[in-house]
Amino acid sequence: MQKPILLILRRLMPFLLGAAAALALPPSNLWWLLFLVLPSVLHFWSKQASKGLTKQFFFGWLFGLGYFLVALHWIGYAFFVDAEADLWMMPFAVGGLSAVLSIYWGLAFMMGSLLVKRGHPSWLALPLCLGIAEWLRGILFSGFPWAVWGQMVDGMGGVSQFASVVGMVGLTFCILLWAAAPLGIWRDQGPRRAVAIIVLASLPVIFAWGEWRLAQNPTQYVSDVMLRLVQPNINQSDKWRNGNARAIYDQLLQMTAAPSSTGKPITHIIWPESSVPFLIDESAPGRAELAAVLKPNQILLAGAVRRDSATPDAKYFTSILMFDHNSDVISHYDKFHLVPGGEFLPLEWALAPLGFRRLVSLPESFTPGDGPKTIAVPGAGWAGFSVCYEAIFPGAVAGTDRRPNWLVNVTNDGWFGTSTGPYQHLAMLRLRTIERGVPAARAANTGISAVIDPLGRMTFNSQLNTIGSFDLALPKEMGETVYVEIGSILFTILIGTLFLVGDYLKQY
């Protein structure tokens, strides 16, 4: 009879392995752990092969629960901003979200077990089903592709360049296959082992290609654009406190008006998300003060709350307002992919009576805009705009009608302190630049502000919880990537190929 402690550890093994897998994400980037974790998961999972689908589901769900609790623990930091009112909701938000997302993994293990029963190699079946589950997690019910396995390339050097071919979702399939292949090499024979060897051998080949691509394409810069990223570092608990608006605005104006640190004229200034705690476009005195500090031909891209007072219910948007040097709003972008629980409350009819509320305090939920969009920026071509959370979605950072020359992302990660959240958020924007072959500029309230070239290299990144206005050149874009041109076709081919190869190998 097994000792109770050993029995508990055995039951918790998938949970513990899932927690370990999450350490492959930024900023720890321990991607090599995957080559220990996934073969171990497959080993323990194979012992469940004769058991029912319910146990298969629970095994995968438990694996996912450990993963998501570690990967998404940073969400809990937001509930400490107003702890007296919000802290009680933290276990429901972090634990509940992790439990729901784990359902995708539970279903993937169920489907994988059915493929194994058909004769597919387990090391091939599970990556196929888990990769599909991660893809669906990013698109169903508004989607939440945070911490998908494709983001683990952040610490894998040249491998990240493969995003220009297959995108983040394609990289998820690749990483799952690479991590599972050693089990096939060790345990299988004949053609099954040969396929596993080929799969694993593709990893160093893609790494070498990516390093070559980086070496062949040094960063080049646009000659007549000089950016200023403004990072005011306003504590989230102070941002909306009565009486602080004047001091916050004075700080932003001062940082905007400061002399150029490079000696070159500043052409475009970017303020972070919700930079000012008032409706700046509706404030005549505020706009007059702004006009006094902006220089001729300067453009300000300001993250701000906007109200559409023309509608009967005065809808609110979280936006990027484009001001000319006279402080006239010449264009705007409204965030369309809102944060569940932050900017709107899902199932509000059921949760509000129980005391749940949005973390962002407004009389009503924000209204989604009609994005994504690519917008003309005077003096800097066309830019794909995104606010905060939208940068995690490959299709949400620019419109489809015109290719952008660069990406603009404004965010306020001050909710999450010095947790892993800001680092993972930045890593996802880096993937967006590689996927599209265009640079990005990111202004963050508390950091990490950054300029990223079209191969995902950061030409500058600030430190968290620091104040600064950073004057930086804008990198040039590259040509259209394979991912943008035929990425969806390659994705379909990849899924079909994995299934056909697994079906072929069942005879061996």
pLDDT in tens, the chain (508 residues): 456 776 676 778 999 999 999 999 999 999 999 999 999 999 888 877 667 888 999 999 999 999 999 999 988 887 777 777 778 878 888 899 999 999 999 999 999 999 998 999 999 999 999 999 999 999 998 899 999 999 999 999 999 999 999 999 999 999 999 999 999 999 888 999 999 999 999 999 999 999 999 999 999 999 999 999 999 999 877 776 778 889 999 999 999 999 999 999 999 999 999 899 889 999 999 999 999 999 999 999 999 999 987 666 778 899 999 999 999 999 999 999 887 766 655 655 455 555 555 555 555 568 889 979 999 999 999 999 999 989 999 988 999 889 999 999 999 988 788 899 899 999 999 999 999 999 999 999 998 999 999 999 999 999 999 999 999 999 999 999 999 999 888 888 989 999 999 888 888 8
* Same domain, yes or no: 410 and 442: yes
The burial of 288, by beta-carbon neighbours within 10 Å (0-12 exposed, 13-18 middle, 19 or more buried), is given as exposed
* Same domain, yes or no: 230 and 148: no
* Same domain, yes or no: 338 and 246: yes
Identify the residue whose tokens are 């005879």.
507
Rounded to 10 deg, the angle between the 122-137 and 163-187 helix axes is 150
* Same domain, yes or no: 157 and 282: no
Annotated catalytic residue 335: yes
Report the distance separating Cα 102 and Cα 232, nearest Å.
37
* Same domain, yes or no: 105 and 208: yes
Report the distance separating Cα 136 and Cα 145, nearest Å.
9
* Same domain, yes or no: 311 and 380: yes
* Same domain, yes or no: 203 and 256: no
Which residue from 446, 401, 448 is spatially nearest to 428, judged by alpha carbons?
A: 448
Tokens representing 45 are 């999972």
Out of 129, 335, 390, 477, pick the active-site residue.
Answer: 335
Residue 226: strand pairing partners: 473
* Same domain, yes or no: 107 and 159: yes
* Same domain, yes or no: 282 and 424: yes
Tokens representing 455 are 């191969």
Helix (H) or strand (E) holding 252, with range, is helix 245-257
Which residue from 508, 506, 502 is spatially nearest to 129, judged by alpha carbons?
A: 502
Backbone CA torsion sign across 66, 68, 71, 76: negative
Annotated catalytic residue 273: yes
Collapsed DSSP state (helix, strand, coil) of residue 373: coil
Backbone CA torsion sign across 112, 115, 121, 125: negative
Report the distance separating Cα 472 and Cα 459, nearest Å.
9
* Same domain, yes or no: 278 and 142: no
Domain of 428, in residue numbers: 221-477
- pLDDT at position 339, please? 77
Out of 134, 273, 435, 477, pick the active-site residue.
Answer: 273
* Same domain, yes or no: 234 and 349: yes
Which residue from 469, 383, 491 is spatially nearest to 433, judged by alpha carbons?
A: 383
Tokens representing 312 are 């009967």
DSSP letter at 265?
A: P
Report the distance separating Cα 56 and Cα 122, nearest Å.
13
Cβ count within 10 A of residue 463? 12
* Same domain, yes or no: 279 and 212: no
Annotated catalytic residue 282: no
Structurally, how many domains does the chain consist of? Answer: 2
- Asked if 413 and 425 touch (Cβ cutoff 8 Å), the reply is yes
DSSP letter at 104?
A: H
CATH of the domain at 347: 3.60.110.10
Out of 129, 174, 239, 388, pick the active-site residue.
Answer: 388
- pLDDT at position 45, please? 87
